[in-house]
Amino acid sequence: MPAPRLDPAFIVGGPLAAKCGIVTAADIPSERWAALAGRLFERFGSAPSPHDTRVHRYYLPVYFWLRQQLDARPADSPPLCVGLQCVQGGGKSTLVGALEALFDADGGKRCVVASLDDFYLPREGLDRVAREHRHNRLLQVRGNPQTHDIELCASTLQQLRAQRQSAQPASVRVPRFDKEAFSGRGDRLPAERWAEVRAPADVVLLEGWCLGFRAVRPKGESELATPELAPVDEALCAFEHVYALLDALVVIQVASAAVVFRWREEAEARARRDGRGAMSEAEVRAFVECYMPAYTQYLAPLYGEGEGGSGVCAGRPQLRFFIDEAREPCSDATRAAGNELLLGRG
């Protein structure tokens, strides 16, 4: 497939361009951009277009921003470890999968992708949490902090970071979680089925819906929106060990977390049409409601930190932007309106 033609004005006019260092047409590495765009069109099975928003105004700007962070590091540095936060259903898995492919296509850079979902407790651990908090609806299903093995997450990141600086690097296994096991309740896969990283990575991408959430303690439980969040908030204290290992942070913001209801229902509706097991609309609402208290408590503070603030990854490179209900980057005007909605002032 020939490299797609480019429309530099379309790229520069996107809401992410300036954030990613693309201010004029001269900032676009045209040949690389066109070649990588072609890889994405092949990956998505779509016809090449110079005006494809997802490719030219979203995925490639984010990729080149990450590549700037990688290229600025000394050759003997640990891998660039990037946290990526977005609410459930916002397209994190598709994005990081595309970024992994782009790093490989652009000079053969090795990118390891992991999700906080991979670090859920095994089945017996999830059952134990549910029993110990049997009167807390937030912990009857996996997802909220308290249902993750954060020690395993931190140790896996540490191993990946150390691997690059070892004369004889040992393989690192990254856990994988089977969400279909036990009739959808899920279970961690056996260790022999985990992803094996044999060669040192150049980049590690860790994505998660609650990545970047921070405990309100020691301010006290009076700061919590609901008492049900007390064990969630306690578990978030351990997340700081993971945050300390991140070199950069990408925060993909939404105007309101209520969009999660719509995105999850869209996914379940497709499954129902295809004859696959799926939740009803009522079940979707009940399921998503288990995460809304955490969004209410922690999302606005995360968004309010801004780039280079005192929060997660303070002083480290950060890329923050809004997406709309179509999962496409928004303009600054939409971003300002989104802050009002999220903070309850819209």
Residue 345 has pLDDT above 70, yes or no: no
| 321 within 8 A of 19, measured Cβ to Cβ | yes
The rounded distance, in Å, linking the Cα atoms of 25 and 107 is 23
- pLDDT score recorded for residue 309: 66
Q: From CA 83, how far away is CA 206, in angstroms rounded?
A: 5
Q: Is pLDDT of 340 > 70?
A: no
Phi and psi at residue 331, to the nearest 5°: -75, 170
Reduced 3-state DSSP string for 84-114: EECCCCCCHHHHHHHHHHHHHHCCCCCEEEE
Distances from the Cα of 105 to the Cα of 56, 78, 109, angstroms: 16, 21, 8
Give pTM, 2 decimals.
0.92
Mean pLDDT rounded to a whole number for the chain: 91
- pLDDT on residue 268: 84
Lowest mean pLDDT among 208-217, 234-243, 274-283, 310-319: 274-283
Give pLDDT, residue 269. 85
Position 271 confidence tier, pLDDT thresholds 50, 70, 90: confident
Q: Quick one: pLDDT at residue 308?
A: 66
- What is the per-residue pLDDT across 300-323, written as a single tens digit (0 to 9) for each? 999 998 776 678 999 999 999 999
Q: Looking at residues 109-121, what average pLDDT do you find?
A: 96
Mean pLDDT of 258-285: 84
| Statement: residue 89 has pLDDT above 60 | yes
d(CA 237, CA 248): 20
Mean pLDDT of 63-67: 98
CA–CA separation, 118 and 206 (whole Å): 10
Residue 146 has pLDDT above 70, yes or no: yes
pLDDT (tens digit per residue) in 165-206: 888 888 999 999 998 888 778 899 999 999 999 999 999 999
pLDDT score for 180: 81
- Domains of the chain, residue spans: 1-72, 73-342
**Looking at domain 73-342, which of 3.40.50.970, 3.30.2310.20, 3.40.50.300, 3.30.1330.90 is its CATH number?**
3.40.50.300
What pLDDT is attached to residue 39?
A: 96
Q: Average pLDDT, stretch 84-103?
A: 97
Q: What is the pLDDT of residues 3-28, one digit of tens each?
A: 778 999 999 999 999 999 999 999 99
- Tell me the average pLDDT across 78-98: 97
Relative orientation angle of helices 230-243 and 150-163, to the nearest 10 degrees = 10
Q: What is the reported pLDDT for 184?
A: 75
| Mean pLDDT along residues 321-336 | 81
pLDDT in tens, 278-292: 678 888 899 899 999
pLDDT of residue 284: 85
Q: How confident is the model at residue 66 (pLDDT cuts 50, 70, 90)?
A: very high
pLDDT at 279: 76
- Asked if pLDDT for residue 71 goes beyond 60, the answer is yes
Alpha carbon distance 263, 2 (integer Å): 35
Taking Cα atoms as reference points, which of 1, 14, 57 lies closest to residue 33? 57
Pairwise pLDDT comparison (50 vs 168), residue with the higher score: 50
pLDDT of the residue at 30: 96
Q: Which residues pair with 120 in a beta bridge?
A: 148
Stretch 145-164: mean pLDDT: 96
